[in-house]
């Protein structure tokens, strides 16, 4: 047990958090209204009490609103926390200081939650023995020349995955399932898919205990991680050695980069794990509740909740904006990540009065930051109380999860009528949403499924959500899924139903990879992973959510189709154009960049209320790239589609989701002679025009 009492100096306020200096460790924290601060030093992450408590003198250890102290000779590896005292005038100022609560450093880069007890942090009284601790960690990592990849977004194919769920299933056969290290073992698989980026569900340190009481009583936990408490620190549960969490994450980033795969982080800046008035005091609530959160202007005891999670981060307060943008810059500079996806990003567009701002400082400072200039910025362009900004998110280069693409393609593939005109617009990159404001196809991130909702296989197997296992009486999760069960709800042994489900799944993957914009694939969809109809598996840290690697053999045909469709997309730059289609020939080209058809040439069913057939001919970007002809028949009937004639070229079949092999290798594509192609019902066909 450490008995030494370390000497202290005033320290300096130039760098937030704990920084290692030649003479010791310098600690800095921001709090505007605190009257008294204490720094608590712990020998181990599970020490029940601090070995030294250092009170700070505001006459010596405070500069403006920053409190600082340097502890002489303190070694790296030391664990620490803060305690802050000040006004508790929650009704008028919103301040919630509690001198009995041990607080995390908002700038800590390594955190331990081994002793964490959320209930103790919510209740009155001292929680020092059960609080999370920050750790001082030396930063001497060898990147071996690694840098962010800067893969252009128009070339991207994104794979959304959960770090732990990707390898936690016993079938993953990894040395340390559920960790950053285990992902490294699966890099060859990711590389074989052909994806260019992984988009990781939250890996910033989050509170696993943040779930409703009925859910917790079932032994469930916050699995997805949308409950961040430490924005600079990796989640310790994803590391083999908790004190090395930051370096183990770096090892994973470096391994992915070596394979040519970029890393996009799902960032939860809209709320924190501290919840509302009855939530725990972890960090921000005990240091600056009055500035960090949106509070009711009349009764500041109340939190404005635009996120459905109890609180909303006041992102456009100057200090909070600075803190969050610095955080993003840290992840690019120190952790080499390639971009960010922002959860419920419309909450970030709300000013301090709660109203939406087009010139929101948080969003524009992020967009215009030189450090973030090449980082991808992707918004989930809505929040939980109705602000929906798809096509109108502030900024220019922010990409958006295109919820309108998802909903329309789901409806079209299940067989809804009269959608052909808008389907063409979505497949062409959603120019109606983005072109009027000078934006580009890359502003549209196209997806059919994501972590939030049905998996692809469940989308074609269930018409209703089945979330009873979450403990909330099936009230949670979306009810508007635009899904179709192909005739039977859930599990079945009917071979006709099973065959139709697989064909529908192939249709979704094919259309996604044939659409202009940026395709995003949910991990496990390529092998038809199911969650048994649960469309909100946020609390299911078990085999319901984990990727069963045996499916790669069971559903190898689907895996091979997905790989082939990604390869086709990457082989044909015309499918990922940097500019919108015009219907006119590009300079030096004879064919128009796109020509639309129905089952008959040049006769698209724009105004047909029953239309469910669409075809288009896509010219190559250069004379060397062969044209493509794509046909979609989502009706219940087989329909012969007319084929355009191309002088000096002959059509070859690359894809037919109704006929095995569903995707032919380029060298094995079958040449076609007839003027019409017999399209089967509910199918997608892709032809390539090759010189005779």
Task: Judge contact between 23 and 280, C-beta under 8 A.
Answer: no
Identify the CA nearest to 580 among candidates 429, 437, 443, 425: 429
pLDDT band at 2 (very low <50, low <70, confident <90, very high): low
C-alpha to C-alpha distance for 617 and 593, rounded to whole angstroms: 8
pLDDT value for 279? 97
pLDDT at 174: 98
Phi, psi of 362, deg, nearest 5? -60, -45
Average pLDDT value for residue range 630-636: 98
Residue from 324, 334, 323 nearest 148 by CA: 334
Side-chain-facing half-sphere of 579: CA atoms under 13 Å: 8
Q: How many other CB atoms sit within 10 Å of the CB of residue 669?
A: 18
The pLDDT tens digits for 22-77 are 999 999 999 999 999 999 999 999 999 999 999 999 999 999 999 999 999 999 99
Lowest mean pLDDT among 9-13, 365-369, 511-515, 643-647: 643-647
Question: Distance of CA 404 to CAs 262, 281, 388, 416, 441, Å?
Answer: 26, 38, 11, 15, 14
Q: pLDDT, tens digit, for every residue of 422-464?
A: 999 999 999 999 999 999 999 999 999 999 999 999 999 999 9
**C-alpha distances out from residue 669 to 506, 559, 666, Å:** 18, 19, 5
Give the pLDDT band (50/70/90) at residue 647. confident
The model's pTM:
0.97
CA dihedral 37, 39, 45, 51 (to 10 degrees): -120
Residue 347 has pLDDT above 60, yes or no: yes
User: Per the residue annotation, which of 343, 452, 458, 656 is the catalytic one?
Assistant: 343
Question: Tokens for 69?
Answer: 């102290």
**Structure tokens of 308?**
């459905």
Out of 3.60.20.10, 3.40.640.10, 3.90.226.10, 3.20.20.80, the CATH code matching 153-451 is 3.20.20.80
Let me know: does 176 contact 137? Beta carbons within 8 Å: no
Give me the catalytic one of 380, 458, 526, 593.
Answer: 380
Answer whether 8-135 and 579-691 agree in fold. yes
| pLDDT value, residue 3 | 62
Q: Which of 251, 384, 204, 368 is nearest to 310 (CA)?
A: 384
Beta bridge partners of 350: 356
Q: Is 383 a catalytic residue?
A: no
pLDDT for 588:
77
218-233 in b/e burial notation, b at 16+ Cβ within 10 A?
Answer: eebbbbbbbbbbbbbb
What's the pLDDT band for 623 if we cut at 50, 70, 90? confident
Sort strands 518-522 and 594-597 into parallel, antiparallel or unpaired.
unpaired
Closest Cα partner for 365 from 348, 353, 380, 382?
A: 348
Buried b (16+ CB within 10 A) or exposed e, 515-548: bbbbbbbbbbbbbbbbbbbbbbbbbbbbeebbbb
Q: Which residues pair with 111 in a beta bridge?
A: 134
CATH topology for 8-135 is Immunoglobulin-like (2.60.40)
Domain residue limits, the chain: 8-135, 153-451, 579-691
pLDDT at 586: 81
Instruction: Give the model confidence (pLDDT) of 497-521 as tens digits.
Output: 999 999 999 999 999 999 999 999 9
Query: Tens digit of pLDDT for each residue in 81-99?
Result: 999 999 998 888 999 999 9
Among residues 201, 203, 172, 206, the alpha carbon closest in space to that of 189 is found at 172
Residue 577's closest CA among 691, 420, 443, 405?
443
Q: Are 53 and 7 in contact (CB under 8 A)?
A: no
> What phi, psi does 525 have (nearest 5°)?
-65, -30
What is the distance between the alpha carbons of residues 524 and 442, in angstroms, rounded to a whole number?
A: 24
- Average pLDDT for 540-550: 98
Q: Does 204 score more than 70 pLDDT?
A: yes
C-alpha span between 88 and 92 (Å, rounded)? 9
Q: Which residues contact 272 (CB under 8 A, 6 or more apart)?
A: 227, 228, 229, 282, 283, 284, 311, 313
Sequential DSSP letters for 164-204: TTTT-SGGG--SSTTSHHHHHHTHHHHHHHT-SEEEES--E
SS3 291: helix
Mean pLDDT for the stretch of residues 612-633: 96
Cα 139 to the chain's mean position, in Å? 27
Q: Which tens digit of pLDDT belongs to each residue from 124-141?
A: 999 999 999 999 999 999
Pairwise CA distance, residues 42 & 61, whole Å? 21
Write down the CATH number for the domain with range 579-691.
2.60.40.1180
Mean pLDDT of the chain: 97
Which tens digit of pLDDT belongs to each residue from 229-282?
999 999 999 999 999 999 999 999 999 999 999 999 999 999 999 999 999 999
Given a cut of 80, whether residue 547 has pLDDT beyond it is yes
Q: Is 548 helix (H, G, I), strand (E, B) or coil?
A: coil
Q: Is 221 a catalytic residue?
A: no
Residue among 278, 283, 281, 284 at smallest CA distance from 317: 284
The answer to which of 130-134, 262-266, 291-295, 662-666 has the lowest mean pLDDT is 662-666
High-pLDDT (> 90) share of the chain, %: 96
Rg (CA), the chain: 27
Q: Minimum mean pLDDT among 365-369, 426-430, 665-669: which range?
A: 665-669
| Distance between CA atoms of residues 71 and 23, nearest Å | 8
607 Cβ neighbours under 8 A, 6+ residues apart: 421
Q: Is the separation of the CB atoms in 584 and 593 below 8 Å?
A: yes
- Bond into 454 cis (ω within 30): no
């Amino acid at each position: 047990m450490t008995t030494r009492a370390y000497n202290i100096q005033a320290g300096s306020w130039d760098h937030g958090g704990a920084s290692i200096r030649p003479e010791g460790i310098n600690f800095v924290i921001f709090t505007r209204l605190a009257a008294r601060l204490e720094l608590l030093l712990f020998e181990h992450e599970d020490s029940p009490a601090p070995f030294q408590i250092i009170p700070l003198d505001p006459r010596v250890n405070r500069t403006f609103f920053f409190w600082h102290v340097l502890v002489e000779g303190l070694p790296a590896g030391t664990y620490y926390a803060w305690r802050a005292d000040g006004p508790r005038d929650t009704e008028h100022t919103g301040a919630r200081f509690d001198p009995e609560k041990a607080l995390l450093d908002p700038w800590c880069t390594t955190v331990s939650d081994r002793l964490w007890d959320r209930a103790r942090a919510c209740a009155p009284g001292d929680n020092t023995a059960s609080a999370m601790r920050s750790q001082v960690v030396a930063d001497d990592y060898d990147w071996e020349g690694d840098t962010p990849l800067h893969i252009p977004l128009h070339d991207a194919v994104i794979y959304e995955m959960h770090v732990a769920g990707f390898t936690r299933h016993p079938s993953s056969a990894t040395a340390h399932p559920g960790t950053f290290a285990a992902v490294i073992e699966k890099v060859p698989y990711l590389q074989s898919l052909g994806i260019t980026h992984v988009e990781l569900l939250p890996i910033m340190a989050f509170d696993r205990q943040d779930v409703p009481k009925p859910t917790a009583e079932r032994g469930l936990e916050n699995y997805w991680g949308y409950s961040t408490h430490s924005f600079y620190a990796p989640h310790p549960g994803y590391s083999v050695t908790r004190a090395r969490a930051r370096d183990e994450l770096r090892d994973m980033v470096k391994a992915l980069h070596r394979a040519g795969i970029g890393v996009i982080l799902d960032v939860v800046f809209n709320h924190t794990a501290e919840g509302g008035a009855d939530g725990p005091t972890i960090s921000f609530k005990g240091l600056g509740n009055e500035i960090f959160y949106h509070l009711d202007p009349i009764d500041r005891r109340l939190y404005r909740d635009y996120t459905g999670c109890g609180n909303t981060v006041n992102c456009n307060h100057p200090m909070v904006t600075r803190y969050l943008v610095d955080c993003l810059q840290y992840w690019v500079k120190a952790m080499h990540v390639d971009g960010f996806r922002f959860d419920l990003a419309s909450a970030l567009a709300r000013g301090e009065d709660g109203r939406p701002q087009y010139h929101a400082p948080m969003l524009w400072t992020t967009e215009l930051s030189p450090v973030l200039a090449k980082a991808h910025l992707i918004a989930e362009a809505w929040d939980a109380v109705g602000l929906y900004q798809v096509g109108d998110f502030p900024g220019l280069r922010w990409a958006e999860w295109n919820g309108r693409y998802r909903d329309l393609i789901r409806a079209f593939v299940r067989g809804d009528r009269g959608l052909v005109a808008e389907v063409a617009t979505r497949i062409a990159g959603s120019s109606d949403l983005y072109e009027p404001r000078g934006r580009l196809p890359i502003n549209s991130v196209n997806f059919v499924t994501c972590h939030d909702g049905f998996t692809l296989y469940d989308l074609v197997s269930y018409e209703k959500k089945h979330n009873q296992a979450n403990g909330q009486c099936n009230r949670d999760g979306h009810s508007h899924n635009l899904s179709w069960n192909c005739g039977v709800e859930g599990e079945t042994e009917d071979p006709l139903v099973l065959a139709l489900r697989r064909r529908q799944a192939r249709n979704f993957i094919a259309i996604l990879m044939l659409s202009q914009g940026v395709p995003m694939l949910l991990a496990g969809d390529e092998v038809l992973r199911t969650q048994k109809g649960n469309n909100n598996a946020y609390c299911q840290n078990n085999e319901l959510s984990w990727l069963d690697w045996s499916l790669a053999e069971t559903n190898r045909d689907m895996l091979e189709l997905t790989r082939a469709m990604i390869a086709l997309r990457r082989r044909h730059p015309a499918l990922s154009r940097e500019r919108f289609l015009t219907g006119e020939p590009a300079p030096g080209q004879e064919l128009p960049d796109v020509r639309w058809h129905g089952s008959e040439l040049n006769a698209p069913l724009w105004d047909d209320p029953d239309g469910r057939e669409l075809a288009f001919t896509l010219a190559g970007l250069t004379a060397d790239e062969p044209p493509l002809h794509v046909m979609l028949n989502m009706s219940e009937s087989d329909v012969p589609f007319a084929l355009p004639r191309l002088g000096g070229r002959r059509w070859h079949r690359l894809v037919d989701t109704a006929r095995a092999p569903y995707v032919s290798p380029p060298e094995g594509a079958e040449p076609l002679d007839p003027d019409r192609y017999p399209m089967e019902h509910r199918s997608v066909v892709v032809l390539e025009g090759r010189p005779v």
